[in-house]
Amino acid sequence: MKNHMLNAPKQPLITDALFAEMVLDKAVLAFRTEQLWKEIDQSLDVGNKERFFELTTELQALEALR
């Protein structure tokens, strides 16, 4: 029986640390995305075209990570 278990296909294990890192990365990404949207709205309110383009470029880069 032990021999049978040795031949079983090995599946990758997600460790607690890796899982925690993934959750944290997702939370940081969501927070920054929300923050960017607020800053984009502010740049539109004050008519800061240059800042608007900087922020939307960063937002597009973040969206590509999803």
Are 32 and 40 in contact by the 8 Å Cβ rule? The answer is: no
Report the chain (66 residues): mean pLDDT per 10 consecutive residues: 60 81 95 98 98 98 90
pLDDT for the residue 45: 98
Burial of 55 (0-12, 13-18, 19+ CB in 10 A): buried
As given in the structure block, the two tokens for residue 45 are 């309110």
Q: Backbone dihedral region of 52: left (phi > 0), alpha (psi from -120 to 50 degrees) or beta?
A: alpha
